[in-house]
Amino acid sequence: MTSAPSIAYAAPFFPYSSSLTPDTTKRQTTTDLDPAHYRTQLYKSDKVIEEFEDLLNSTTLDSCQMCRRGMKMAQEFSLEAPELVPGVLRILCARYSFLRLDSCAGLMVRLGPELAEIFSQMDVDGSDGYYACAYSFPGSCPVPKHQPANPTIFPKPKPANAAQPPPSGQSMKVLHFSDWHLDPLYRPGTEAKCSHNICCRDFGSWNDPGPIKKRASKWGEPKCDTPIALGLSALEAIQRFVPNATFGLFTGDIVSHDSWLITEKYVADLEKTSYELFKKYLQEVRLYVVLGNHDSYPSDQAPARHKPEQYSTHQWLYDHVATVWEKNEWITSIEADYARSHNAMFMTRPMPGLKLITLNTDLFYVRNYYNMLDTDQDDPSGLFHDLILELQDSEDRHERVWIMGHMAPVTLTLPRSSILFQRVVARYSPHVIAGIFTGHYHQDKFIVMHDPDAEERTQASAVNVVYQGPSITPLDKANPAIRWYDVDPKTFSILDSHTVTADIITQADYWESHDLEPEWILEYSARSTYSDPLHPLPAGEPLSPAFWQSAVERMKDDAGLFGKYIRYQSKSSAEAKECLWGTVCEAETRCELQASTVLEHDVCEAMLEEEGAAGVGGKGGRKKPKPNRWKRFGVTRSGVVLDVNAYDRERGIDF
């Protein structure tokens, strides 16, 4: 790659103009009202708020009954006066949540029209209502453990003695970076420790009172998204450390975390500008991109294409990103057309013998409220149907596959999607699926996926590995990082993983005061860090699922190895949460590293709760999430097996 503009030339990129024409802006849901009609609407809003507050003060309903009754009321109100839903939700949010008033107002105005549509179509008396309560108000209702059809129907049985191909002895480099989260409104010198969920901005009248506690550095802060200076520094680091990448992966999240302030125009402009920056710095390197949960408007929301009337409201986004990706020559016109009609997902072949399948993981994300519809179906979006067909096609062609998405469906995922993904991966591993690549968590992590039929998690039961790429944003007290893989160019198996980081957390102020640029260093090699010293990996052998499972197993008895993993997880951040070997936190971490589904995570958490109650390893344990301010929403625990009809009959519920 040739040189690109240095950080000194950041200014021309911002402010930027919109790429959208006026007829593509989001439709308005409110209308001008005459005074009489306005009084009627105001009365309706006040009445429904009063009814919700009466419900919340009920002493005869348990938390699940209360929530489901509220869902029924929300549905009735959405059908009667959808244009009033955002205002009512804003008031209820301000009164009964932990969010700041400005966050409540902004989020509900943005989400309100979509929620009104979702409420109106939801089966509140069935599993939709339970799912919506369980995930919107954790602890209110138990999560129905919807089990997909068993066995999952595959086009063909798995070949006998399926195995990954032998190594070729060759190597190439593939770039991976994630969670860019560029903040064009970042302002050095503003408050870096504010009460918003992101700081380092001038929020005007919503700024925290009093003097600034910590001045924001130009290079970034642990409670802030990526300033343009840091973003360009990271792209320059890619040029230095991975100058000859064969191709690259970006696993999503372009947009900043201010979900309560963003607009459709802001999202579109920031995506276009960021992709153009990637193209300018990577130049001839082809970059393959997926959407993250923050890359839509509103954030996290993505209706599936099986409901055309909803899908059309997001068509502008899929048209927009597909056009930019095609213009940058990252995908072909055929692939761009497919992305436009499939939630920005596409399939491509970066090299002969390798197929790359991209997923829009919002289609199984629990914070995508469209996923609260059709919850009794195994695969309402068709995502897994399409994935299976593509994998079967590759098996028939004897080609290898990489799967790429923003987040792996093992946490924050509907249980059915998590189980389906595990079954699909097990069916087509190790001979077809050579790698799974994600981001989202802002940490440098891996997950070992296991055979769903295995009784124990062992090296023999390990079927594949999810590589969770580190973030560029330092938000959540993690240093920025990039990664590259050494890859066998014939088998496309991973030979090694290298992480490069810059210590923004402790050095940003020093670099700025001394007029220095960030120092990016090679933090570690996975092969050298996690190899078993008693059984070293032969040269040329890939990092197999058994290799990673062996590392997890050795962490139980090797405090030094576990300590390295924890340090590298935060990219050597001095402000990372403490997690000590020999504590509940260590057991929880090892559990996360080998839990293939949401349900397995629930089992691990239940075991850890018992250990914590028994006084096992108190120091270094992670704090549990704060309960909802409304204490009734902390009565039941999610994950309990639930028969919806039996639950209703037992409580005499008749909606």
List the binding residues.
179, 181, 253, 293, 406, 440, 442
Continuous segment of H or E residues that includes residue 120: helix 101-121
Contact between 413 and 366 under an 8 Å Cβ cutoff? The reply is yes
Distance (Å, whole) CA 640 – CA 133: 14
Contact between 218 and 257 under an 8 Å Cβ cutoff? The reply is no
Structure tokens at 278: 């990637």
Structure tokens at 613: 């109650």
Distance (Å, whole) CA 391 – CA 401: 7
* Closest residue by Cα to residue 223 from 194, 183, 184: 194
Nearby residues of 390 by Cβ (< 8 Å), 6 or more positions away: 347, 355, 357, 401
Place of tokens 């239940």: 606
The number of beta carbons lying within 10 Å of the beta carbon of residue 166 is 12
Nearby residues of 22 by Cβ (< 8 Å), 6 or more positions away: none
Distance (Å, whole) CA 530 – CA 149: 37
Distance (Å, whole) CA 78 – CA 55: 18
Nearby residues of 146 by Cβ (< 8 Å), 6 or more positions away: 127, 375, 376, 378, 414, 415, 416
Distance (Å, whole) CA 481 – CA 245: 17
DSSP state of 316: H
Distance (Å, whole) CA 25 – CA 649: 47
Place of tokens 């005499």: 652
Contact between 75 and 122 under an 8 Å Cβ cutoff? The reply is yes
Distance (Å, whole) CA 287 – CA 331: 9
Residues annotated within the binding site for Zn(2+) are 179, 181, 253, 293, 406, 440, 442
Contact between 447 and 590 under an 8 Å Cβ cutoff? The reply is no
Continuous segment of H or E residues that includes residue 437: strand 433-438
Contact between 155 and 388 under an 8 Å Cβ cutoff? The reply is yes
Contact between 181 and 173 under an 8 Å Cβ cutoff? The reply is no
For residue 446, the cross-strand partners are 467
Nearby residues of 622 by Cβ (< 8 Å), 6 or more positions away: 577, 579, 584, 585, 588
* Residue 222, preceding peptide bond in cis (omega within 30° of 0): no
